[in-house]
Amino acid sequence: MEKLFNPTPEHAALRRSVRAFAEREVAPQAAEHDREEKFNLPLFRKLASLGLLGLTAEERFGGTEMDATAAVIVHEELAAQDPGFTLAYLAHAFLFVNNLQQNGSEAQRARWLPGACDGSLVGGMCMSEPGAGTDVMGMRTTARRDGDHYVLDGAKMWITNGALDDSTLGDVFLVYAREPHHSPKQLSMFVVEKGTPGFQLGQRIKDKLGMRASGTAELVFDGCRVPAENLVGQGGDAVSHMMRNLEIERLVLAAMSLGIARRCIEVMNGYAQDRRSFGQPLNAFGQIQRHIAESYAEFMAGRAYVYGLAAELGLDRGGTRVDSDGVKLYCSTMAKQVADRAIQVLGGYGYVGEYNVERLWRDAKLIEIGGGTNEAHQKNITRDLSKHGPLR
């Protein structure tokens, strides 16, 4: 299956480079930043030297111009060491950079992508709201045209990279809002920068179960005046932007699940070989063999699904929703179950931080919620399959 997971020499080289970086730089800091709920900004900026912050952006803007398979490789390898840090990377490189690359104007891309690619800007995307998470079309944030500006009012919730520390906003965001004169099924998208009048940090969300190394925040727009040239695309056409970007977001979240599962399998497999009980290594017992074997089989099934979809996904077009929902639905729960088995195999050692699997278990849970809940994926898949006819 090597050609599926590393289809070209460039992909194989990318995996080697990112894995080496993750093991050398990301792994040593993971437990500390999880414990202290701190985002590692200096480490994040080191990703620019590998060309990762602008992985799918054009070279003329400082990007690397790689594909969906490259995106999957990067997220799998980083998440095997620190999923929380990887989530911050995802929000920047895909919810902001890739979205703006695909949907922004020439002037908008020239203005914001170079800084996002070199790490001088930390970006994110604002979609969810306090009363509208999965129900994105129920959002209430409004954008009203006022001369050569738009005025945004409302609040966004659960925003990754919304806060870089307890009091510092992220640098730049793509914000979805509703223009009152458009239909309820239409949304608009705007670039909003830190320092824009009326844009402020509401609260940094702390004491999360997992993904504690990424900064999550509520962001408030109170008479926020945004220049009209910050409107991305045409007013009212942002739903299509959102849906296309959700497909790549769900794919790379599934890839993060692969990284979590792979690391947990490596830990429990090594522990079961080394630890002895009743005079035998743990992996001589059928109960332990079941945990390891089923975890490996499920991981490989998910990995084939993710990389198979990545090979088909075009970053500039939609059309794979049933499977972008499918890979995240399967892999998110698979990773959580594999992490749970790893804790069980390690017993008391799995329940504490030394072997990392308890942190990975906590991090895995978020992927069943963020980027669309598993219940939303079940609804979407069922609805889409009802239109497909016989499966090929």
Which candidate, 170, 154, 273, 168, places its Cα nearest to that of 221? Answer: 154
Tokens of 96: 């902001």
Alpha carbon distances (Å) from 321 to 125, 317, 327, 329, 380: 20, 11, 10, 12, 8
List the CATH code of the domain at 238-388.
Answer: 1.20.140.10
Per-domain boundaries in the chain: 2-122, 124-232, 238-388
Distant-in-sequence, close-in-space partners of 13: CB < 8 Å, separation ≥ 6: none
pTM of the model: 0.96
Q: What does the mean pLDDT of the chain come to?
A: 95
The active-site residue out of 249, 298, 358, 368 is: 249
> What does the alpha-carbon distance between residue 38 and residue 44 come to, in Å, rounded to a whole number?
12
Quickly list H helices, the chain.
2-5, 9-21, 27-36, 41-46, 68-79, 83-90, 99-103, 106-118, 238-274, 286-312, 321-346, 357-366, 374-388
Q: pLDDT tens for residues 160-205?
A: 999 999 999 999 999 999 999 888 889 999 999 999 999 999 999 9
Tokens of 392: 């090929």
Contact in structure between 41 and 223 (CB atoms under 8 Å)? no
Q: How confident is the model at residue 319 (pLDDT cuts 50, 70, 90)?
A: low
Told to judge if 249 belongs to the known catalytic residues of this protein, a careful annotator would answer yes
> What does the alpha-carbon distance between residue 82 and residue 197 come to, in Å, rounded to a whole number?
35
Q: How confident is the model at residue 133 (pLDDT cuts 50, 70, 90)?
A: confident
Domain 2-122 has CATH 1.10.540.10: yes
* Secondary structure, 3-state, 185-208: CCEEEEEEECCCCCEEEEEEECCC
Q: How confident is the model at residue 329 (pLDDT cuts 50, 70, 90)?
A: very high
Give percent above pLDDT 90 in the chain: 90
pLDDT of residue 57: 97
Q: pLDDT tens for residues 70-126?
A: 999 999 999 999 999 999 999 999 999 999 999 999 999 999 999 999 999 999 999
Distant-in-sequence, close-in-space partners of 100: CB < 8 Å, separation ≥ 6: 108, 109, 112, 113, 116, 174, 191, 232
Domains 2-122 and 124-232 alike in fold: no
Domain 124-232 has CATH 2.40.110.10: yes
Q: pLDDT tens for residues 201-221?
A: 999 999 999 999 999 999 999
229 has pLDDT over 80 = yes
Q: How many residues are listed for the chain in this entry?
A: 392
Q: How confident is the model at residue 7 (pLDDT cuts 50, 70, 90)?
A: very high
Q: How confident is the model at residue 389 (pLDDT cuts 50, 70, 90)?
A: confident
172 DSSP β-pair partners: 123, 193
Alpha carbon distances (Å) from 271 to 177, 277, 289, 350: 50, 12, 12, 10
pLDDT of residue 128: 94
